[in-house]
Amino acid sequence: MTELIKTPLHAMHLAAGARMEPFVGYDMPLRYPQGSVAEHNQARNRAALFDVSHMGQLRLMGEGADAALETLVPGDIQGLGDGAMRYTLFTLENGGILDDLIVSRVPGGLGLVVNAARRRHDTEHLRSHLGGRVDIVPEPDRALLALQGPAAAAVLADFADLPFMGWREGEACGVPARVSRSGYTGEDGFELSVAGADTEALAGRLLAHEAVAWAGLDARNSLRLEAGLCLYGRDLDEDTTPLEAGLGWTMPKRRREERNFPGAARILDNPPVRRRAGMRPEGRVIAREGSDLLDSAGEPVGWVASGGFSPVLGGPVAMGYLPLALTAPGTEVAFDIRGKPRPGRVVRLPFVPHNYFRG
Amino acid sequence: MAVKTYYTREHEWVRIEDGVAICGITDYAQTQLGDVVYVELPEVGAEIARDGEAAVVESTKAASDVYAPLTGTIVAVNDRLEESPDLVNESAEDAGWFFRMEVDDEGELDELMDEEGYQAFVEELD
C-alpha cells in the first residue's frame, strides 16, 4: 500500500484530536472530537474551518487559455472578468462528465480547482487536448482552506467586500493568499489558497477567532448535501449528462449555440429521460447512495446518488436520479432500504436555503 | 454483587438483568461510529440466533449491523432511540441500550469477553 499523503495541516489535525481517514490517497480529517453534527451546525451558525488541500489546484497559462478551455467545458470562460470565477464541467464525447471544477480568471491565464479523485484524469485530459496551446502548471505545493459560515465575513473582514464567486490576492491574517468568496456548504464564506509553508500560520490565526472551529469531511458532505450541491462520483459521473444532473445553468446561450465542447450534440439534442431530484424519506431511516428508488407500483425506477442525515432538518435527505415524469415536487417515491420499501417524496432543492453573500 | 457485563468482538455488550439479557453497542463502538442519527431495532417477538443481524445503527457516515450477542427472543426494544438516537452516543452502555431478549442458553455467555478482556481487545485494535 502506498503511503497516504499528508496535507500541511496534518499535525494540527492530530493535535486537535481529529479522526483521520484515507480519502483519495490523502490522510484527511473525517471529524473532530465535537462530532460531525456539531461541526455541521458550526458552519450553519458561526464559521467552520475545513482543510481541503486534497483538492487539485493548477493553472492554465498563456494567451487564449480561456478560448482553449472552452473546447473542453460548456461554460462561458471567455466572458469571465478579472477577479471572477465560475463553476463548470469537463464534458465527454458521450455527453457524460469527466469532472466538475472551478475556473478563475488569473493574470496571464486561468486557475483551476478540480476534484482530488479526478486530478490525474483531468490533467491527462488537459495535456492531450490543450498541451500545445497552453502551459499546464500543477500547483501541488499549495494548500486550500475553506472558512464557511455566517461569521466568516467578520473573521476575514479585509475580504468582506468580495462579491460571491469573486477572488483576489491579498494578505489573510498576515499570510499571502488567494482568497475567493466561494465554498461547498451553501453558506457565505471563503476559500483560501496558500503556500504550503504558510498554511499552519493561517489556520492557527483563523482558529484564534472565537467564532471559528474545525470541521471535517463528514460535515462537509452533509453541508453540501443540504445545499443540493453535486459530489463527483456520486451525483455526477462519466455516464451522466449536465442536463440529467440539473446543471443546464452552467451552459449559457452562446456556448449552446457554438456547440463546440465535447458531447455538445449528444447533450443538447437528447432531452434527458432521467433527472437528479431531491427527496425526503419519511421518518428517520437514512437512504444512502445505491438504494433503489421505487415507483408507486414498487418497481425500481431510479437510485439514490447521495443520501444522509440533515442536521438542520433533523432527518434524512437524499438526491437521486428518477424518470423525468417522477421529478415534480410532491411526487411519492419509495426507497428500497435493506429490502424494505420506505415511503418518501420528491422535494425542491436545496433542502436548506443558500445563504450566499449577495452584496 | 454488581451485574456482570459481557462483550462481543463485534462491540456489542450484554448483561442479564432479572433473567432477561439487555443488549447494546459499546462505548468504544459509539466513539468509532461518531454521531448516531438512526437506529433500526428488531421486532418484538423476533427469534434471533447468536451473531445474527439484530439491528442497524446509522452514524452520519455509514450504516453498521448490530448482531445478537446470544440466541433468544426479543422481548423489548428501546423506543427512546426512535426520537433520540443520540442516546447511543451519550450513554451507550446504559440509557442507549438497544433490545432485551429472553435467552435460550445463558451458557453462551461463557464464550463472550468480560470487561477486562474487552478492554484488552480494543487496545489491540487502536
Residue-wise pLDDT tens digits, A70-110: 999 999 999 999 999 999 999 999 999 999 999 999 999 99
Nearest CA in chain B to A223: B60
Say what the pLDDT of residue B44 is.
Answer: 98
Interface test mutation site (partner B, options A30, A32, A218, max chain B beta carbons within 10 A): A218
In this prediction, residue A1 has a pLDDT band, given cuts at 50, 70 and 90, of low
Here the ipTM equals: 0.92
Check: CB of residue A110 under 8 Å from CB of residue A103: yes
Residue B72 cell numbers, joined: 433468544
Tell me the average pLDDT across A200-214.
Answer: 98
Q: Judge if A293 and A186 occupy the same domain.
A: no
Shortest distance between the Cα of A118 and any Cα of chain B, in A, equals 22
Tell me the average pLDDT across A290-294.
Answer: 97
Interchain CB distance below 8 Å, A285 and B38: yes
Q: Is B53 on the interface with A (CB under 8 A)?
A: no
Q: Judge if A220 and A319 occupy the same domain.
A: no
B89 contacts on A by Cβ (under 8 Å): 35
Q: A169 lies in a domain?
A: yes
| Whole-number average pLDDT of chain A | 97
Structural domain count, chain A: 2
Say what the pLDDT of residue B38 is.
Answer: 97
Q: Judge if A221 and A279 occupy the same domain.
A: no
Please tell me the distance from the alpha carbon of residue A106 to that of residue A149, in angstroms, as a whole number.
Answer: 26
What is the sign of the dihedral through the CA atoms of A188, A194, A196 and A201?
negative
Where would I find the H helices in A243-303?
Answer: 253-258, 264-269
Q: Is residue B1 pLDDT above 80, yes or no?
A: no
Give the CATH number, domain containing residue A333. Answer: 2.40.30.110
Tell me the average pLDDT across A108-120.
Answer: 97
Residues 6 or more apart whose CB falls under 8 angstroms from that of A157 comprise none
Helix (H, G, I), strand (E, B), or coil: what is residue A119? helix
Q: A161 lies in a domain?
A: yes
Q: Is residue A219 pLDDT above 70, yes or no?
A: yes
- Would you give the distance in Å from CA B118 to the centre of its chain? 14
Residue-wise pLDDT tens digits, A17-51: 999 999 999 999 999 999 999 999 999 999 999 99
B58 contacts on A by Cβ (under 8 Å): 285-286, 309
Q: A119 lies in a domain?
A: no
In this prediction, residue A359 has a pLDDT band, given cuts at 50, 70 and 90, of confident
Residue A261 cell numbers, joined: 465542447
| Whole-number average pLDDT of chain B | 96
B40 contacts on A by Cβ (under 8 Å): 285, 338
Tell me the average pLDDT across B97-104.
Answer: 97
Q: Judge if A220 and A321 occupy the same domain.
A: no
Strands A340-347 and A332-337: antiparallel
In this prediction, residue A2 has a pLDDT band, given cuts at 50, 70 and 90, of confident
Interchain CB distance below 8 Å, A35 and B89: yes
Domain limit, last residue, from A226, A246, A281:
A226
Domain limit, last residue, from A193, A226, A259:
A226
CATH hierarchy code of domain B5-118: 2.40.50.100
B38 contacts on A by Cβ (under 8 Å): 284-286, 309, 316
Interchain CB distance below 8 Å, A19 and B34: yes
Q: What is the DSSP letter of A357?
A: -
Range of the domain at A204: 10-56+141-226
Provide the 10 A C-beta neighbour count for residue A62.
16
Say what the pLDDT of residue B45 is.
Answer: 98
The helix or strand, by DSSP H or E, that contains position A306, with its residue range, turns out to be strand A300-310
Residue-wise pLDDT tens digits, A157-169: 999 999 999 999 9
Q: A356 lies in a domain?
A: yes
Give the CATH number, domain containing residue A29. Answer: 3.30.1360.120
A36 contacts on B by Cβ (under 8 Å): 34-35, 59-61
For A337, how many CA atoms within 13 A lie in the half-sphere containing its CB?
A: 24
Q: Judge if A163 and A303 occupy the same domain.
A: no
Q: Judge if A33 and A151 occupy the same domain.
A: yes
Residues of chain A with pLDDT > 90: what percent?
99
Q: Judge if A303 and A222 occupy the same domain.
A: no
Say what the pLDDT of residue A43 is.
Answer: 98
Domain limit, last residue, from A171, A192, A226:
A226
Nearest CA in chain B to A36: B35
**CA-to-CA dists, residue A165 to A45, A102, A153, A182, angstroms:** 21, 10, 14, 6
Compute φ and ψ for A121, nearest 5 degrees: -60, -45
Q: Write the DSSP string, A160-201.
A: TTPPTTBEEEEEETTEEEEEES--SSSBSEEEEEEEGGGHHH
Residue A82 cell numbers, joined: 478579472
